[in-house]
Structure 1
Amino acid sequence: MHPKDNQLTFIMKPFNSAFKLFLGIFSLLQLNSPFAFSQSLEVKIDSLLETTFTPVGPGAVFLVAKAGEPIYRKAFGKANLELNVSMTPANVFEIGSMTKQFTAISILMLLEQGKLQLDDEITKFIPDYPTQGKRITVHHLLTHTSGIKSFTSMKSLRAIERQDLTPTELVDFFKNQPMDFEPGEEFKYNNSGYVVLGYIIEKLSGKTFADFVQDNIFQKLGMNSSQYASHSQVIENRAYGYHQKDNYVNKNYISLSLPYSSGSLMSTVDDMLKWNEALKKNSLIKAETKANAFENHTLNNGDKINYGYGWHISNIDDSPSLEHGGSIFGFKSMGVYLPEEDIYVIGFSNCDCNSPTTLTRDIAHLTLENF
């Protein structure tokens, strides 16, 4: 070997050692970086969702945000089976009962404007409402403790499901039903209560529920892909809804005047993140007013009901969580917010055969593990 080769070998040995040390330190830093955590989280979430949503079936969109910034945003499956159109993160879904969040905050806006009080009896706004001698308040409606019969549990609903009703006609449909219990005695999830709230919003604001939410929430927050749902309107990026029987079928038709303020809004995961951020930053109502929505309210006997105004009050891995889902023909939705960790998870599905409820909570759990 040439002497210079010996010299080169001597020089390269310490260089190689130093380079390997550098690579080791770099790899260690990378593994402990937020980027590496998000890569690991992405793989875990992908694995979870790909077991439910296939490339050829109805799909879903999921978004995870930390401190208001998306760290996961993906679409799965098809937005339209007949046209073979793949889902994208920008697709618009009917969100069902997640509408109740917007109805509740609209009521709290009217509270701040001095147009109502939470302990006002509903007969203040609907004088002819037959309360059967009971004292039913706005608070009872918001917390599903009114005892009013939920119209979605009535067998006669099938007779009107395709009819376009005014809010007055919809209230008239259920108002004479026997009450399920004394106001404040029980918690029973109730779509009728949120219909009455929508009717109150219209009476006090002079606007339709759709226009009130559009003007005071969607437009103000730049939620440009959100609106009151429509069957006839051409809606950009609309995801079509499906049922699964032996095969997938198009969703059943129901007049969107029936879900009304209990379940007739449409949105995207991006717009819902804007919504969550606006609530977090008190952009729409004051913090002390908002506290009513996120308080775990009580029954007459003092028992907690695990519900605020438009949100379930729960926990994931001992972390407090604010949650709500939605279900309407052809669509299911679920949102989870962990306020202490500032983690938001939202999932939409365009087949009511694939509920995102458990998946969304599982993703929140995975996200907690990674931060």
Structure 2
Amino acid sequence: MTVPITPEALDAAIEAESFTGVLTIDVGDTRTLERCEGYANRALGVPHTASTRIACASGNKGFTALVIMRLVEAGTIGLGDLVRPILGEDLPLVDDRVTIEHLLTHTSGIGDYIDEEGDGEIDDHIFSVPLHELAETEAFLPALDGFPQKFPPGERFSYCNGGYMVLALVAERVSGHTFHDLVQTEVCDRAGLTGSAFLRSDDLPGDAALGYLAEEGNRTNVLHLPVRGNGDGGMYLTADDLHRFWNALLDGRIVSPDTVAEMIRPRVDVPSEHKRYGMGFWLGRRSSSLILEGYDAGASFRSTHLPETRTTVTVLGNSSEGAWPVIYALADAMDGTVRGKFPDES
């Protein structure tokens, strides 16, 4: 399968917001399209390559969910387990009835430390603690605390970054291992991902892209995001790894096929996003497409996998807005089956 988009339409989408990043389409073992646009480092003129590591914002929530499901498979925790006994005296405003499953499906109703239902710009300075301190999971506790419950657990869907940070805390406390190590051993190693990792933004290797706030200029997101990503986002990924990831997931090499089926079973319909949600993954509203997506200061990302044809369409952008016209154009070309809601949609 190839996505029916003309070179002219793709060029127009790339130019719309000066896309900078990597676009790939892989079908089975064949790469049918590859575009590397702009710079991983503008000041030094370092161009993107197909192996550039680019931050995915919320795109690693699926990895967080997989860490949790590995612990579920091991019998360490259960989907119906209450979170309160694991949190102890921490985060006292989290409702006593919140379960692991509520957090995975964004139905917990807990107050979110990064509330995407509120007003504000993507590049606002929103963190209440110094960003350089946010390198390990427990360090996020002061930032997560103090947000009242929004609604009773299970009442409805409300996308919750804080919920996925709580999941990272849960994973560490029940396993005795750090969240970052769990992602490495339980997801990346099992899937054969060689370039993906949680990197510090103040200590990036030469093959990792800086995240830019605007179409032009050299201002980066280093003062806007935690110095190291965690359960709710911030991992650096490569296009090659994403195709490997989807194939490994559906081949049962990360968690069992039964667990995969449970994770990608539609739990909630989200009309405002033109999608459904499972556990850690967005799902096509009228198709079997599986979606990881992220949007943050200096990051715009979507990777969509079509299981029937083993097709992966990945757009990794290292600016806040650059990837969205490209993602939007590809979604239209695919008859809207992977379309999401972007700022310019009605």
> Compared with structure 1, are the counterparts of its residues 91 and 360 closer, same or farther at alpha carbon in structure 2 (3 Å cutoff)?
farther
- The answer to whether the 8 Å contact 1:336/1:361 transfers is no
- SS of 1:63's equivalent in the other structure is strand
Residues 124/258 of structure 1: CA separation in 2 closer, same or farther (3 Å cut): farther
Instruction: Give yes or no for contact 1:343–1:364 (8 Å, CA) kept in 2.
Output: no
Distance 1:353 1:323, change over 3 A: same
Aligned equivalent of 1:152, options 109, 114, 117: 114
Q: Greater CA deviation, 152-161 or 287-296?
A: 152-161
CA contact (8 A) 2:60 2:292 kept: no
Q: Is the 8 A contact 2:95 2:110 kept in 1?
A: no
CA contact (8 A) 2:54 2:208 kept: yes
Change (3 A) 1:255 1:351: closer
Q: CA deviation at 1:178?
A: 1.1
5+ residue gaps in structure 1? 1-36, 300-304
| Superposition TM-score, scaled by structure 2 size | 0.83
**1:309 pairs with 2:279:** yes
Compared CA separation, residues 220 and 132, structure 1 to 2 (3 A) = closer
For structure 2, the 5+ residue unaligned runs are 270-274, 339-346
Would the aligned equivalents of 1:99 and 1:261 in 2 still touch at CA under 8 Å? yes
RMSD, aligned α-carbons: 2.9
What do residues 329-368 of structure 1 show as CA deviations (whole Å, max 9, x unaligned)?
A: 2111101122233322111111112133424424544999
Match for residue 295 of structure 1 among 258, 261, 265:
265
From the superposition, tell whether residues 56 and 124 of structure 1 become closer, same or farther in structure 2 (CA, over 3 Å). closer
Asked if 1:353 corresponds to 2:321, the answer is yes
SS of 2:13 mapped into structure 1: coil
Q: 1:80 to 1:112 in 2, by over 3 A?
A: same
Q: Which amino acid aligns with 1:326?
A: G
2:304 is aligned with 1:342: no
Mapping of 1:205-354 within 5 angstroms? 205-244=175-214, 247-253=216-222, 254-256=224-226, 259-298=229-268, 306-315=276-285, 318-354=286-322
Q: 1:130 to 1:110 in 2, by over 3 A?
A: same
SS, match of residue 255 in structure 2: coil
Distance (Å, rounded) in 2 between the aligned partners of 1:277 and 1:262: 23
- Residue 77 (structure 1) aligned with residue 47 (structure 2): no
Q: Tell me the TM-score normalised to structure 1 length.
A: 0.78
Aligned residues: 321
Matched-pair contact (CA < 8 Å) for 1:143–1:308: yes
Preserved CA contact (<8 Å) 1:68 1:273? no
- Structure 2 CA distance for aligned equivalents of residues 288 and 91 of structure 1: 33
Identity of aligned residues (%): 25
Greater alpha carbon shift after TM alignment, 44-53 vs 151-160: 151-160
The structure-2 alpha-carbon separation of the partners of 1:273 and 1:127, relative to structure 1 and needing over 3 Å to count, comes to: same
SS at match of 1:320: coil
Q: Distance in 2 between matches of 1:130 and 1:187?
A: 22
Name the SS of the counterpart of 1:75 in structure 2.
Answer: strand
What is the SS of the residue equivalent to 1:186?
coil
Distance in 2, matches of 1:343 and 1:269, equals 13
Q: In structure 1, what residue type is equivalent to 2:296?
A: I
Could you tell me how far apart the structure 2 residues matched to 1:54 and 1:76 are?
10
Which residue is equivalent to 1:28? none
Maintained 8 Å contact 1:92/1:267: yes
Tell me if 1:198 matches 2:172.
no
Q: Does 1:137 align with 2:107?
A: no
Structure with greater helix share of residues: 1
Give 3-state SS (helix, strand or coil) of 1:251's partner.
coil
What are the residue-to-residue correspondences of 1:47-66 with 2, within 5 Å?
A: 47-54=8-15, 59-66=20-27
The one of the two structures with greater contact order (alpha-carbon pairs below 8 A, sep at least 6) is: 2
- CA–CA separation in structure 2 for the residues paired with 1:186 and 1:59: 36
Higher deviation after alignment, 144-153 or 336-345 = 336-345
1:58 touches 1:242 (CA, 8 Å); kept in 2?
no
SS in 2 for 1:62: strand
Structure 1 distance, partners of 2:163, 2:276, is 17
Work out the CA distance in 1 between the residues paired with 2:104 and 2:277. 9
Structure 2 distance, partners of 1:141, 1:114, is 18
* Residue 4 of structure 1: aligned partner: none
Q: Evaluate the alpha carbon distance shift between residue 132 and residue 56 of structure 1 in structure 2; reply closer, same or farther with a 3 A threshold.
A: closer
**Greater mean deviation of Cα atoms: 101-110 or 331-340:** 331-340
CA separation in 1, counterparts of 2:76 and 2:312? 32
Output the amino acid matched with 2:62: Q
Change (3 A) 1:179 1:234: closer
Measured in 2, the distance between the counterparts of 1:366 and 1:123 equals 40
